[in-house]
Amino acid sequence: MGDTRLATSIPEGTAFFVEEEGERLAFGVVARRQPRGHCIALYLFWPPAIDLTEWPDDLPDPASASFRGRFADRALRDGVWSSMGVHPGFRREQWPFDRILHREFITGRCTLIALDDRNPLKMIGSEPVECDTATGLPSDTLYAAYHLKEAILERGGKWLA
């Protein structure tokens, strides 16, 4: 019999702190999860967007997120990011993660990718778009949680698409 712990995914609405060496760097909310997989779509907040000293009674406004992206869930599974469990204020419809932006490396062309609302890895459609009309959308990159500080926080949390 296999390890069922690895077959389940982190629940949507899970709230957590991104921590490194005892310092809270950001607050996060799992907006979508890959069923029976290890990909999660996150909203991340950091100062001045949210107070990082205590667990929030109310979730921040999703529109004020500092960053949105897809990550492997290992840091949550391993307890490197401290989770409080599913936040009672999480309402799935308020935390959309249905579109991402792909920018071709060589040509710089942009494609809007529609995602299955139940799986942040499943593409259900795409269409070419002007890059400047799709600003603010998450990138199609799958980020490694252990490199969050270097890859995003130290770059100012700019949308990398």
Residue 154 pLDDT level (bands cut at 50, 70, 90): low
Tell me: pLDDT of 46 over 50. Answer: yes
Tell me: pLDDT of 5 over 70. Answer: no
How many domains would you assign to the chain?
1
**Which residues, including other chains, have CB under 8 Å from residue 110's CB and lie 6 or more apart?**
101, 102, 103, 104, 128, 129, 130, 131, 134, 161
| Cα–Cα distance measured from residue 11 to residue 33, given in angstroms and rounded to the nearest whole number | 7
In a domain, 38, yes or no: yes
Tokens 């069923």 correspond to 35
In a domain, 40, yes or no: yes
Residue 155 confidence (pLDDT): 60
Q: Can you say how many angstroms the Cα of residue 43 is from the centroid of all Cα atoms in its chain?
A: 5
In a domain, 81, yes or no: yes
In a domain, 106, yes or no: no
To the nearest whole percent, how much of the chain has pLDDT over 90?
61
In a domain, 23, yes or no: yes
Residue 43 corresponds to which tokens in the numbers above? 């909203």
Mean pLDDT, to the nearest integer, of 104-123? 94
Tokens 């995914």 correspond to 9
In a domain, 108, yes or no: no
In a domain, 109, yes or no: no
Residue 9 pLDDT level (bands cut at 50, 70, 90): confident
> Quick check: helix, strand or coil at residue 37?
coil
Residue 58 confidence (pLDDT): 94
Please name the helix (run of DSSP H) or strand (run of DSSP E) that holds residue 39, with its range, or none: strand 39-45
pLDDT, averaged across the chain: 87
Look up the domain containing 43 and give its range. Answer: 14-96+141-156
In a domain, 28, yes or no: yes
